Amino acid sequence: MEDLIDFPCSADWLDHYHQRGLTPRSSGRMSPQERYLLSEIRDLQKRMVTMEETLLEVVKAVKELLEERRKRRAKPAVKEQSVLEDSKARFLAG
């Protein structure tokens, strides 16, 4: 492509001419669409960090609940065993 813009111009005009194929040069700046997409990406990254933190809190809470449940289930088994031993001891004694 031949460079038809052989005079100095602002970055805005250089991008304008580049978009219309009048010059192979561009200002190197991002287009408004690219800036918008970049801001969306950054926003999504922030939201992902927040979601990850929330997910870690939920996983921690679930682990704690499961541990409590496991402990509660283990205790009655011990109680049942001691009741059986007491009953056996009474039976043998009596």
What single string gives the DSSP state of each residue in 31-43? PHHHHHHHHHHHH
Q: How far is the CA of 1 from the CAs of 6, 18, 22, 91, in angstroms? A: 13, 11, 8, 105
Amino acid at 21: G
What is the model's pLDDT at position 79? 59
Judged against a pLDDT cut of 80, whether residue 57 lies above it is answered with yes
What is the model's pLDDT at position 85? 77
Which whole number is the average pLDDT over 71-75?
79
Question: pLDDT higher for 76 or 48?
Answer: 48
